[in-house]
Amino acid sequence: MRIKYLVNGKYPKAESFNEFIQKEFPQLLEEEEPQLYLVAGGDGSMLHSIQENIGYDIPFLGVALGTVNFLMNDFEDERETIQNLLDDRIGVDVFESHAIAAYLDDKKLGEAVNDVILGDEIMNNHYFNLSTESGDFKDFEFRGSGLCISTPIGSTAFNYNNNGMMLPLDSDLLSITGVVCNKQINDIIRFEEVLIKANGVRIYLTNVKSDVLEEGSELVLKKGSKIKIAFLDKGVFLRKRIEMGHRFRK
């Protein structure tokens, strides 16, 4: 298997692993036709790497160096595991999902791996109008501080802390939750086109401010690039999701 190591220069805990790759597997830094991306760090490092390399249809395999490591893998023996991957002596399990492609008045703003969040300060009160392709929402009007539209990958992030439902990673679904709204919004819909109008709210694509949705404009969300996340043992990942899903049962 051809592997490309995506150097993580923004996470101090990854420095020693960067040095390890440079010394033991320098060819991973120069690979031009990878079949697998290798990322070291925490879940934030994984999301950043996906965001920076989206659209290539190549799986991302994470080396757990962070705190939660929800999307990462424990490498018991880093040298042996990488060599076995290179020699095709072990394989990976891959979950496929999609990013959200965001368009403001037909201009593409970018793609969000985790979620698209609309809002500003928590005490602000904005007007929203929400419609979905299938009609689950049709010119649905409400007021509130914000709105979160989450991918399956992002459903364990802001969406989850906002009491949204955790989605199967390889599902074709979106989770929509309202933030301090005058109407209950906590829904799961098919991953389809979503149209949103508002009266001046900031647009965030996976925590990065992109633009402002002004009155008279329309934000359209569509299924974006395919995302593939790889695991050495998908059973470990699935157990983590089950444990997280039981937070209210303990």
For residues 196 and 158, give the distance between their C-alpha atoms in angstroms, rounded to a whole number. Answer: 19
For residues 240 and 207, give the distance between their C-alpha atoms in angstroms, rounded to a whole number. Answer: 24
Report helix, strand or coil for 107: strand
Segment 131-140, tens digit of pLDDT: 999 999 999 9
pLDDT for position 121: 77
% residues pLDDT > 90 (the chain)? 76
pLDDT for position 12: 86
How far from each other are the two terminal CA atoms of the chain, in whole angstroms?
42
pTM, entire model: 0.87
Residue 246 above 70 pLDDT?
A: no
Q: What tokens does 69 get?
A: 């490591």
208 strand-pairing partners: 205
Confidence of residue 120 (pLDDT cuts 50, 70, 90): confident
Beta strands in the chain (DSSP E): 3-6, 36-41, 60-64, 93-104, 107-112, 115-119, 126-132, 140-150, 173-181, 186-190, 194-198, 201-205, 208-213, 219-231
Residue 250 above 70 pLDDT?
A: no
Handedness of CA 159, 174, 126, 213 (dihedral sign): positive
Rg of the Cα atoms in the chain = 19
Residue 113 above 70 pLDDT?
A: yes
